[in-house]
Amino acid sequence: MNRPYNFSAGPAAIPAEVLETAAAEMLDWHGSGMGVMEMSHRGKEFISIYEQAEADLRELLAVPANFKILFMQGGGLAENAIVPLNLSHAATVDFVLTGSWSQKSVKEAGKYAAQAHVAASGEASNFTAIPPAASWDLSRGASYVHICSNETIHGVEFHELPDLQALGSDAPLVIDFSSHVASRPVDWSRVGLAFGGAQKNIGPAGLTIVIVREDLLGHALPACPSAFNYKTVADNQSMYNTPPTWGIYMAGLTFQWLKRQREGELTGIAAMEQRNIAKAELLYRSIDQSQLYLNKVAPNCRSRMNIPFFLRNEALNDAFLAGAKERGLLQLKGHKSVGGMRASLYNAMPLAGVQALVDYLHAFEKQHA
């Protein structure tokens, strides 16, 4: 099947093999006589799906044994409230602002923490750079420090997670890794909690993954709803309420697909990281060498997953998008808050798709030179 290349920032492309498997199993999962959406979440059939998905994710991301993996609902936006409800102790929380998503996070946390303190902000650069860690104004005794490790809209990524202890902070680091989860390894020695919506790099919208260190459980504010209390969710193996069963199933298929990926001697997440580096370098190189296109993000923090770019002559925007669609290059329009274009190169985007985009960039520029 010759499908277009989908550069959507989310909900985003899902590997064709995963979609084909889901389609084949839609009416009857493994001879059970039921589709996954029809199963009891407490039945043995679905429990086996859930357990395999959790085990595969733990293996892929090398999640240590002292971290719990929770399958929840609400997406990253809901976690902006759920995290402070569980971890803030109604005290001070530090935020490093690097784009739209971390801005949303600090605003929401202000409803639950005594103070949502901005320790650093890249707003002065229009979020085209990450403030150097040495300049962060971290609070003494903060309950946690929050970063968005990849900003989907502004295209800024932490290529190395901050070492808070080296910065003089004993607070746990919370990362929103929604848009680059499973694209590279995670240094869990520097992380207390990671959360992400699945719809960008793992599966369909509706599933949220939370990976939380066990010692951070059991400190929820009294007002925290039971279904959002991490300890309650962990104690019930994500089955306290009916979880997003279809999303967990699709994520599980994606995890199995990831485990099959190979790049030379590399497998799984290591293979995907190498592939993602190659894809991003190909597109950034084409943009940087162009006289028509521009990426404004500092090279040392450019996202591998979400690449915003602009036409120097914005009068050509509509023609560019129309021509891209004719070539089967879909959803390249930038976020409404920043304009321009954006190409999201999640795991499901093959190198051939990026090459097709680069070929179009060259052809369009030649046509309008």
DSSP calls for 219-239 = ---TTS-GGG-HHHHHHTTT-
Q: Is 235 a catalytic residue?
A: no
Q: Which of 39, 330, 73 shows the shortest CA–CA distance to 198?
A: 73
- How many Å apart are CA 200 and CA 204, to the nearest integer? 8
Q: Is 200 a catalytic residue?
A: yes
- How many Å apart are CA 204 and CA 12, to the nearest integer? 8
pTM over 0.95? The answer is: yes
Residue 121 pairs in a beta bridge with: 97
Q: What pLDDT score was predicted for residue 369?
A: 79
Mapped onto helix, strand or coil, the DSSP state of residue 7 is coil
Q: What pLDDT score was predicted for residue 49?
A: 98
Q: What pLDDT score was predicted for residue 228?
A: 98
Over residues 230-273, the pLDDT tens digits come to 999 999 999 999 999 999 999 999 999 999 999 999 999 999 99
- How many Å apart are CA 326 and CA 342, to the nearest integer? 17
Given the residues 56, 68, 101, 333, select the one marked as catalytic.
101
- How many Å apart are CA 200 and CA 120, to the nearest integer? 27
Q: What pLDDT score was predicted for residue 2?
A: 82
Q: Which two tokens stand for residue 264?
A: 């030379």
- How many Å apart are CA 237 and CA 218, to the nearest integer? 15
Residues of the chain with pLDDT under 50: none
Q: Is 246 a catalytic residue?
A: no
Given the residues 29, 56, 94, 200, select the one marked as catalytic.
200
- How many Å apart are CA 198 and CA 212, to the nearest integer? 16
- Whether residue 11 is preceded by a cis peptide bond, meaning omega within 30 degrees of 0, is yes
182 sits in the region (left: phi over 0; alpha: psi -120 to 50; else beta) called left
Q: Give the number of other CB atoms < 10 A from CB of residue 52.
A: 16
DSSP character at residue 32: S
Find where tokens 């993000």 sit: 297
Given the residues 94, 176, 231, 279, select the one marked as catalytic.
176
* Cα 65-62-202 angle, rounded to 5 deg: 115
Rg of the chain over all Cα atoms, to the nearest angstrom: 21
Cα dihedral 210/214/219/222 (nearest 10): 50
The answer to whether 224 and 85 have CB atoms below 8 angstroms apart is yes
